[in-house]
A and B are shown apart, each in its own frame.
Chain A
Amino acid sequence: MQLLERYLQAVKFWLPKDQKEDIIAELSEDIRSQIDEKETELGRKLNEVELESILKQRGRPILVANRYLPQEQLIGPVLFPIYRLVLKIVMLCYLVPWTVTWIALLIFNSGYAAKFAGHSWVEILGSLWAQLWGTAFLAAGTVTLVFAILERVQRKSHFLEEWNPRKLPPVNNPNLISRFNSIVELAANMIFGLWWSANMSTGVVLNQVNLRIALAPALWRYFFWGFLLIAFVNIGLAVANLARPYWTARRAAIRLVSDMAGSVFFCWLLKANVLAELSGASIPPEKAIQVTALLNLWMGRVFPIAVIFGLVIAVVNILRIVRVAAPTAHIPGKTAAMA
């Protein structure tokens, strides 16, 4: 029977303090009753193996004890879907940029790269992996801790049980164009068009006694008319979108052309050495030439970033066209014939 005592002791360890004795007395009695019945059936005392079989059938001590404990959850079913979503967002919006920044530092920052001088690529990747895990655990741990606290508060205050169906977000339709966005786009392009026409036609950006900034006139006229034309197209598109607030394949294609033209003009502007003159009463001519060259140089250096942005915009626009042109595209209350 020593095996039985050992079993009961193991169960007792995990039981709540105030119920230990009571539960163990009852459990002990139940097992002894089962043993008695078995012994009566066999007409002899049970051996070690038979007793072991009975205890094994009862289950692992921690599991047996666990059934007497109150059911506890770190994060309950109400908060768990939100917790999982936040965890995914954190992993995507924190760890991915963290990794990209780490790689960028390694490539572009010579001081940081010097730390890994003499290391092989495998060792460098190993270092990234180790740091990434540390960061991931910290991020996931922080999110879990916050949600565990929220769960405790929720259990006491039931703040998540109070909700209003009227405050639910509207049905998500990616083909719908917000009228507010169209109004903002219309107003912004009109203001831009008026300002551009009034101030930028000559290519003189600033003409003060202390500072004069002028752009190469022969080159500038292409940009002036180009950006003005794009603004007019955007105004027309915003008016159309305001009247019919849903994307059609044709309008999505016009938006792609307009955005691509804007990106091409902007990228060209950065590489064209368009800044021709920078002068002022208090600026020595040599210094002005230096600053002009430097500004043109830095505009040129921004070019790759502008190209990346242009490509991202193109991808977004192309995806929109594909989505709108898809047979399942949903335009509420309208038919595809409107395209």
Chain B
Amino acid sequence: MSSENFDNLRLELRRGGLVVAVLAALHAEQYGYTLRKIMADHGIEIDEGTLYPLLRRLESQGLLTSRWREEQKRNKRFYKLTAAGKQILEQLLTEWRSMDSSINSILKEYGHATSRTVFASR
């Protein structure tokens, strides 16, 4: 598989996960730059061109709330999860875990068998 194919599939795989990660990180109030740092510290690199439009979309959907506040002598926009956001996050996490469990179950039943077949044919 080409690198471009992998990048596209990886992007598709990550897209939904990023929303969950951002919502999860915004249990505590954060502004964009620190949010990006937190995500990066936990192994999720997200560029600002993806993060800020995503934050705006989630805010327009009522899942986040934001306010401008001065910190370290500069105005920064702080985001936080709303009650509706918390509820959606719980539902998304349930879905995420269910998906994870299903994929693991498929891998256990077929993934290993496929590997064995591949090795046996060599």
Contact = CB atoms under 8 A, between A and B. Distances in A.
A63 B49 contact: yes
Contact of B53 (A30, A33, A58, A68): A68
Interface in A63-106: 63-64, 67-68
Given A26-B32, A34-B33, A58-B48, A67 B75 contact: no
Contacts of B52: 23, 26-27, 30, 67-68
B50 A67 contact: yes
Given A34-B33, A68-B56, A29 B77 contact: yes
A170 interface: no
Counting chain A residues whose Cβ lies within 8 A of the other chain, the interface size class is 10 to 19
Contacts of B68: 25
Contacts of A27: 48, 52
Contact of B49 (A26, A32, A34, A59): A59
A29 B69 CA distance: 12
A67 B32 contact: no
A67 B53 contact: yes
B68 to A, nearest CB: 8
B32 A32 contact: no
A30 B76 CA distance: 9
A30 B56 CA distance: 15
B97 interface: no
B74 interface: yes
Nearest to B36: A30
A12 to B, nearest CB: 14
Contacts of B48: 27, 30, 58
A58 B49 contact: yes
27 contacts: A23-B52, A25-B68, A25-B75, A25-B77, A27-B52, A29-B31, A29-B32, A29-B33, A29-B74, A29-B75, A29-B76, A29-B77, A30-B32, A30-B33, A30-B48, A30-B52, A32-B74, A33-B33, A34-B33, A58-B48, A58-B49, A59-B49, A64-B49, A67-B49, A67-B50, A67-B52, A68-B53
Given A29-B32, A29-B33, A30-B48, 19 more contacts: A25-B68, A25-B77, A26-B32, A26-B77, A29-B31, A29-B74, A29-B77, A30-B52, A32-B74, A33-B33, A34-B33, A58-B48, A58-B49, A59-B49, A63-B49, A67-B50, A67-B52, A67-B53, A68-B56
